[in-house]
Structure 1
Amino acid sequence: MEQYRQEHFGHAVMPQATHDEQAMEDHFLAMRAWTNRNMDPLDRRLLDEVIVPGIEKKTGTKPTSSAQVRQALEAHPLHQYWLTLSLTYQDRIWQALDGAIDRQYDELAGKVKAQVAEPKGSLRLNPELEIPRYIAAFDHHRMPGSYVVDTAQDDFRAGALYDRFASTYLRNLNGGWKNDGRGHSLASHVQDFYPDFKPKRILDLGCSVGHSTVAIAQAFPDAEIFALDVGAPMLRYGHARAESMGVPIHFSQQDAEHTDFADGSFDLVCSSAVMHETSAKGMRQIFKECHRLLRDGGVMCHVDVPPRHEHLSLWDQMRCDFESHYNNEPFMTSLARIDWHKVAVDAGFAGDTVLVGYRKGTSYLKPDREDFFTEGHPQGQAMIGSWYACSAMK
């Protein structure tokens, strides 16, 4: 029965839901689906058919940037209703999951402890680590306490909450309950464009609870896997999670901008969905750190959220900006405008080795160079079913 539960409802330390808790999750997921299906098209029409013509009539110029329409759009009751729904279902999902973790916290603590009793991997924490402000100052995704807040000794709550939310909110969209689609997409990108590359030491930056790290470890079974994050509760949980899945990973609490590993320590340095939560200055320093950490011939690879303002409609630009203004993803908008190729070159990578474009998402290893688009999704829907990828060789 325990094996069946883990196969169908998660690993050994995944928080579980009662019937009523699951019904509450499903209710607000249904609200999300209803909003996406019914309100998003109306809000898009509001922008295209009311707001834009109104601004054009008033100024004589048709707006081309979301910044030019935001004030007028947010003054309209229909858009205010869309905003309210979008924030309500997300906050209520967090609330429901948090209550479920409260109910089973002691039981989960016992499971976490049991999983790391005889570890194959390791965990190294640094209580003195200075958390970057771009992490410490926000509850990312509106997640209570974000990644770094400890609520008890040896706390793992943030990791458990994030793991359960990710598998719930992105249900069947990013690899199912494992939430490992980004990791598989990253590994596929590396195997596709660097087919003879056989990394022996891999570092995953900003690993959170190891969703992508485990997938990368499975893709490169002969490699020694290291992972770091600034959040101690994320790492405690991630360590137990990896152990419960039989994957040895060496976790450490570090800032990706300045790690304590020696020069040339790794063959592959990577990250998934980290840069959009990092300041522009921090991103540039992380790329420089990647260059320092790689041996000659080593590979850097990052995958992140796909919006690029130059490829988006006006409403999709606004939808991207929504994440920055209201969903506590403050750097999403700036990332959508950053020249990743230039950042990589400025960090020391030769320009002709840098690949930047959209990588079609996959929940399994499927190397296929036709899945990589430098100008976005072939139907022009750059945000759907893809990740933005940047890789380079030192």
Structure 2
Amino acid sequence: MQKQLNHAHFGHPVMPQATHDEQAMEDHFLAMRAWTNRNVDPLDRRLLDEVIVPEVEAATSKKPTSSAHVRKSLEAHPLHQYWLTLSLHYQDRIWRSIDGSIARQYEELAEKVEQQTSAPIGSLTLDPDLEIPRYIGEFDHHRMPGSYTIDTAENDFRAGALYDRFSSTYLRNMNGGWKNDGRGHTLASHMKDFYPDFEPKRILDLGCSIGQSTVAIASAYPDAEIHAIDLGAPMLRYGHARAEAMGVPIHFSQQNAECTNFEDASFDLVTSSAMFHETSAKGMRAIMRECHRLLRPGGIMCHVEVPPRHEHLSLWDQMRCDFESHYNNEPFMTSLARTDWVEVAEKAGFERENVLVGYRKGVPELKVDRADFFTEGHPEGRTLLGSWYACSAQKA
């Protein structure tokens, strides 16, 4: 039998563990990803800038200003097709490898999940009759097999385990290490920077998935009562066990963030981390209105999101963002990159002068520093890694 790596070296008690061979397979495809980023990305960028753009400009007598103007010509070129193939292949293979690893240890993980939740300090409430919106139920988001809501067994947690292991593996140290909680720490840092005297007593985290960001937010506000909701039952079962294993009391419930069952004005802080890029435009606006409804006067909503803003990107970076929508089952990322967050928040009921938007440098732990916030982009990264897009607003 292959030796299994000790969870003390990788994660928490319910984190799926890899054998030597499973880890070697993951590392192989992570290396392929790094090689592609380092060697093929620059070539593809040159292809676009030095070949495709001049060709399109010559054919149309106009300099292309949007990725939509060059997509057809770029995708017809063999080099770009090679880039697309590699980008999809290494990600799919990592998913497949981790999924097989979880299948191998599923019964063992089930025992650990049951053990961690046998005497909970938090809670879990599921709704088997909850209607799943099409923008979640119809896609395997970021090509994750089964996505967030599919149960494969009774009391299933597979989706949560798969998401946890993949996200910590795929990003490694780029989003808080194995905890994958950099978004939560970035959000909390934003709150501490711009609302330093704010002490919420009751917090709601929307679209919490397995609660990585929720745990980080809870650590920033240890005296607050923390609630977290998501549509996916297997995500919540796993997230509940994960939070219990980490000793953090969180009240998880299966709900739609567009229309929760909480009372009006029942929270001081409502948050989300990388939720809106997997939400339809109509759903996003409904969720913003729900945030306004749920907040007490003086309460704050704060969201961090994937950072691409088309107005700040080169043509190739626009294409890289669009790739997520066209090929990586993130169909709303491109539209979100063009969305005016201030306008959406204002129409949801927040006063324009109380809405703050901009990039926030990603951090692996709480870091109060307004120099990490910027409004027009930053050389350390404003595309898919390196920073997040932050939006906060205080209810009048």
With the length of structure 2 as denominator, give the TM-score of the two structures: 0.97
**In structure 2, C-alpha distance between the alignment counterparts of 1:381 and 1:227, rounded to whole Å:** 28
Verify the 8 A CA contact 2:359 2:382 in the aligned structure 1. no
Q: How many residues are aligned here?
A: 391
**In structure 2, C-alpha distance between the alignment counterparts of 1:33 and 1:379, rounded to whole Å:** 18
Matched, 1:392 2:386: no
**In structure 1, C-alpha distance between the alignment counterparts of 2:381 and 2:86, rounded to whole Å:** 27
Equivalent position amino acid for 2:91 in 1: Q
Verify the 8 A CA contact 1:174 1:180 in the aligned structure 2. yes
Verify the 8 A CA contact 1:267 1:295 in the aligned structure 2. yes
Verify the 8 A CA contact 1:148 1:232 in the aligned structure 2. yes
Verify the 8 A CA contact 2:321 2:384 in the aligned structure 1. no
Q: Residues 5, 222 of structure 1: CA spacing in aligned structure 2 closer, same or farther, 3 A cutoff?
A: farther
Verify the 8 A CA contact 1:12 1:244 in the aligned structure 2. yes
Equivalent position amino acid for 1:146 in 2: S
Matched, 1:293 2:297: no
Residue number in structure 2 paired with 1:248: 249
Residue number in structure 1 paired with 2:310: 309
**Paired residues for 1:338-377 under 5 Å:** 338-377=339-378
Residue number in structure 2 paired with 1:213: 214
Could you list the per-position Cα deviations for residues 268-299 of structure 1 after superposition, in whole angstroms to 9, with x for gaps in the alignment? 00000000000011000000000000001100
State the shift of 1:380 in Å.
Answer: 7.4
**In structure 1, C-alpha distance between the alignment counterparts of 2:130 and 2:62, rounded to whole Å:** 50
Matched, 1:143 2:147: no
**In structure 2, C-alpha distance between the alignment counterparts of 1:43 and 1:176, rounded to whole Å:** 29
Partner secondary structure for residue 252 of structure 1:
strand
Could you list the per-position Cα deviations for residues 27-72 of structure 1 after superposition, in whole angstroms to 9, with x for gaps in the alignment? 0000000000000000000000010001111111111100010000
Verify the 8 A CA contact 2:345 2:355 in the aligned structure 1. yes
Residue number in structure 1 paired with 2:56: 55
**Paired residues for 1:193-272 under 5 Å:** 193-272=194-273
Equivalent position amino acid for 1:388 in 2: Y
**In structure 1, C-alpha distance between the alignment counterparts of 2:60 and 2:132, rounded to whole Å:** 45
Verify the 8 A CA contact 1:202 1:226 in the aligned structure 2. yes
Q: Residues 235, 336 of structure 1: CA spacing in aligned structure 2 closer, same or farther, 3 A cutoff?
A: same
Could you list the per-position Cα deviations for residues 132-155 of structure 1 after superposition, in whole angstroms to 9, with x for gaps in the alignment? 100001000100000000000000
Residue number in structure 1 paired with 2:79: 78
Residue number in structure 2 paired with 1:183: 184
Verify the 8 A CA contact 1:311 1:382 in the aligned structure 2. no
**In structure 1, C-alpha distance between the alignment counterparts of 2:73 and 2:153, rounded to whole Å:** 45
State the shift of 1:201 in Å.
Answer: 0.4
Equivalent position amino acid for 2:296 in 1: R
Residue number in structure 1 paired with 2:172: 171
Verify the 8 A CA contact 2:124 2:237 in the aligned structure 1. yes
State the shift of 1:241 in Å.
Answer: 0.3
| Aligned-residue RMSD, C-alpha | 1.1
Residue number in structure 2 paired with 1:106: 107
**In structure 2, C-alpha distance between the alignment counterparts of 1:221 and 1:334, rounded to whole Å:** 36
Verify the 8 A CA contact 1:204 1:270 in the aligned structure 2. yes
State the shift of 1:316 in Å.
Answer: 0.2
Partner secondary structure for residue 304 of structure 2:
strand
Residue number in structure 1 paired with 2:277: 276
Verify the 8 A CA contact 2:210 2:238 in the aligned structure 1. yes
Equivalent position amino acid for 2:67 in 1: S
**In structure 1, C-alpha distance between the alignment counterparts of 2:226 and 2:12, rounded to whole Å:** 20
Verify the 8 A CA contact 2:204 2:269 in the aligned structure 1. yes
Verify the 8 A CA contact 1:340 1:356 in the aligned structure 2. yes
State the shift of 1:381 in Å.
Answer: 4.5
With the length of structure 1 as denominator, give the TM-score of the two structures: 0.98
Residue number in structure 2 paired with 1:32: 33
**In structure 1, C-alpha distance between the alignment counterparts of 2:381 and 2:194, rounded to whole Å:** 23
Identity %: 78
Q: Residues 237, 100 of structure 1: CA spacing in aligned structure 2 closer, same or farther, 3 A cutoff?
A: same
**In structure 2, C-alpha distance between the alignment counterparts of 1:193 and 1:74, rounded to whole Å:** 43
Verify the 8 A CA contact 1:358 1:382 in the aligned structure 2. no
**In structure 1, C-alpha distance between the alignment counterparts of 2:297 and 2:204, rounded to whole Å:** 15
Verify the 8 A CA contact 1:141 1:328 in the aligned structure 2. yes
Could you list the per-position Cα deviations for residues 213-247 of structure 1 after superposition, in whole angstroms to 9, with x for gaps in the alignment? 00001110000000000000000000000000000
State the shift of 1:333 in Å.
Answer: 0.1
Verify the 8 A CA contact 2:308 2:382 in the aligned structure 1. no
**In structure 2, C-alpha distance between the alignment counterparts of 1:381 and 1:142, rounded to whole Å:** 23
Equivalent position amino acid for 1:124 in 2: T
State the shift of 1:8 in Å.
Answer: 2.3
Matched, 1:157 2:149: no
